[in-house]
Each structure stands twice: as structure tokens, then as C-alpha cells.
Structure 1
Amino acid sequence: MQDALPGDSRLALDLALTVRHDGHGGVADDLTEPAGLTTWVRARAADLPVAPGYAADAIGLTAVRDLRAAVRALFAHAVRPGAPSPADADRLLPVPEALDRVNAAAARLPTVPFLHWTEGAGPGVHRRPVPDGGDLTAALAHAAIAFLAGPDRQRLRACHAPRCVRYFLKDHPRQEWCEPSCGNRARVARHHERHRRPS
């Protein structure tokens, strides 16, 4: 089970996880149609700059899918020397192109400096998106940047259980899979491999 992450970081991981195993040995994509993106965004509306009743269109879907391809390429880069997710290992964008896509998308959402000062600490400045500066793809790009530049990137792993294509955050040193069910599948597959009879 995944850790709770700040909204920005969680959005980046959630976007990557819209590519998943379908339970039958294949890969499912939750963002093949505008309706899928609409459902995904509405479930995360509190963390995204979208109006109530948001409905995706084909242009928005293409933009988010293009950004997702860049995010997954950067996730694959982040888990090295480990292997990337098998869902896109053979079709990853080159890292410079992925960086360009993420940065170009992020540039469409203006930000302003935000001063915070907590008791017992000195003042600090963070950048926040301009209220109602709403561009969905830009907000997702900001989330990807926050995740990739933050400490959670060090815990990012690709799950290599049979049929799994997910990325996950490693919660403890011995964790190898995204979910217990993936660990069970991996153990069963190893058991069958060890006990196969020669033909």
C-alpha cells in the first residue's frame, strides 16, 4: 500500500499509475478516452485547478497523455540502475525530450512567491501557482517536478512482479513489490519455475 504523500507528489505518482496491469496479463490504460481523464481528474479535483463539472476533451487528453509519457520516462530514469516498468521499457522517451515536455508544460502555469514563517523558524519562500491560473497539464507538470526534485524520488521503484507495470514508493528496506498481491504472484512464479519438469 502506498504512503500518504503531499498532494503534488501524489498527483505525479497517480498520473504514472494510470498505466497498470489489467489482471489478465496485459496492460490497461485509464486514459484512452476523454471520459477516463474526466473521471481521473474529478477524483482529484481538490488538488487540481479545474472547475466543478470538469469534462476532458480530446486535446486535453492528448496533452495529459504526452505529459504522462514524459513522467514515466523520468520515473524510469529515477529508478536506475533498476529496470523501468515493463509497460514502456521499449518505448521510453529520451530523458532530454522528457525534461523538455515537463518543463514546457509547467511553464504554462504562472507562479508567485509565497512567504511563510512558522514559529521557531526563519521565514521561507515557496512558489505557488497563481489562483485560477488553471491549466491541468501545467499543474500535473508542477506535481511531477515537485516529486522528482523531492526526497520521495529516492524511494521510487518499478514493480517487477509478473504482469505488474506500476511504480511505487519503497516503504521499508525489504519491500520489493508495489502490493502484497504482486509479492504473492512473484513467489508463485518462482515456485513454478523451480519445479517445472524438463520436457
Structure 2
Amino acid sequence: MSQQLVLALASTIRHDGNGGVADDLADVGGLATWLREQAEPLREYAAEPLRFTSESESESDTATPDEQLRLDVVALRHAVRTLFARAVRPGPPSRADASTLLPVPDAVDQLNRAAGQLPVRPVLSWPDEATPTVSWHGEAADARRRLTAGLARAAIEFLASPARDQLLACPAPRCVRYFVKDHPRQEWCKPSCGNRARVSRHYQRHAANRS
């Protein structure tokens, strides 16, 4: 689950379909949409279920996404993408932010500080005739702290896992995503990127033949 969540965070920087780069967390509305989409994986790392509400709602365990929360999540994403760029060495990092990466020790420190905002403990559940699962329980804390701590914990777990060795920056033209290689022959983050790369190579070969 950590892989799903941390890749989803990194992939909020993406190709916009027109040759540029889009940021799904560019505004508070984008953050709110992303949080709703990631509610299930966030549940595992935020110690308790999270609900992020509209301004018209009011519950004790909710938070309204605002600009400060957006900046906090974007800062975590910056640290994650910095460490992804380190993980894919000697391969190239994503083109989106290769020139704006943090110093690696700063990125590590940022994740550790965020994860430490909420001390938690693992709790094992193993019902009859079911697969054992682990959930995280921690001190009482507001949803904002649990969100940033949960995202940081997911990133740390992924970066310390064997899956890190299969992390690549997609080499397709214009793509800026990172992905985990699922099988030995996989070259692209998704089939459409492979199609685009093949079209680009075909065009380049024909252009070279004409020159």
C-alpha cells in the first residue's frame, strides 16, 4: 500500500497532454480532490480514518483543506521526488524537476520530521478465516498532522523496501512520472507512453532518412 500512496503523491506532477507539465496540487481544490481519491490508502498510514470536509461541514475529526495544508503536502512531494531521483541513479531523474531537487540530506530530514509528528504503534488484527492485517494507532491528533505524518511514513516505508530498486523515471517523450517496474521487459509507466515513444522513434528515423 505504501507504494500505491507514494507513487500517487509523486504522480500529482504529470504531463498535461500538450507538451507541458500539470500539477494536480496547484490549488486547494486539487488537493481536496486528491485526498478523496486516496482516502483508502491514507487510512492505513494515518493511524485512524481521515475525513477532509468542505467549509460547511463541522466534525471533530475532520479538517478543511486550505493553503497551508496544500503547501505542507507539496513540500513532502518535493522531498519524495528528490529521493526518487536519487533512487533511480545512475538512470536520469524525471525531467519535471531535475533542476530543482533538494539536497538529499534535507529531503531525508524533512520526511523524518514529518513522520515524527505523530508517534504510532502497529496493531495486528487476525480474524478467523481471514488474512492478518496491520493498522496503526497513535496519540490523539488532528487530521492535518495525521495526514502529513501518514504520507511521510508511506514514503519512508517504500524507500526502504526492495521495490525501490525497481523504481524508474519514465523515458517516454514528455512523460515526467516515476513508476515501479513490474516485470523485466517493462520500459514505460503505461502503454500510452510506450506508444508515444515508438511513434517518436519512427518519426526520428524517417526524419534522419530524409536529411
If the TM-score is normalised by the length of the shorter chain, which range does it land in? Answer: 0.7 to 0.9
How far apart, in 2, do the equivalents of 1:177 and 1:131 lie? Answer: 41
2:41 equivalent to 1:47: yes
What does residue 151 of structure 1 align with? 162
Alignment of 1:51-130 (within 5 A): 51=51, 53=53, 54-114=63-123, 128-130=136-138
Alignment of 1:16-35 (within 5 A): 16-35=10-29
The count of aligned residue pairs is 186
How far apart, in 2, do the equivalents of 1:103 and 1:127 lie? Answer: 20
Q: TM-score, normalised by structure 2?
A: 0.81
| Deviates further, 149-158 or 49-58 | 49-58
| Equivalent pair of 1:111/1:127 in contact (CA under 8 Å) | no
| Equivalent pair of 1:35/1:55 in contact (CA under 8 Å) | no
How far apart, in 1, do the equivalents of 2:109 and 2:69 lie? Answer: 18
What does residue 11 of structure 1 align with? 5
2:185 equivalent to 1:174: yes
How far apart, in 2, do the equivalents of 1:157 and 1:129 lie? Answer: 33
Q: TM-score, normalised by structure 1?
A: 0.86
CA drift of 1:129 comes to 4.2
CA drift of 1:84 comes to 0.5
Distance 1:62 1:87, change over 3 A: same
RMSD: 2.1
Q: Matched residues, percent identical?
A: 57
| Equivalent pair of 2:25/2:70 in contact (CA under 8 Å) | yes
User: Could you tell me which amino acid in structure 2 is paired with residue 166 of structure 1?
Assistant: R
| Deviates further, 42-51 or 133-142 | 42-51
| Deviates further, 162-171 or 42-51 | 42-51
| Equivalent pair of 1:112/1:130 in contact (CA under 8 Å) | yes
Structure 2 unaligned runs (5+)? 54-62, 128-133
Structure 1 unaligned runs (5+)? 1-5, 119-125
Distance 1:127 1:51, change over 3 A: closer
CA drift of 1:47 comes to 3.1
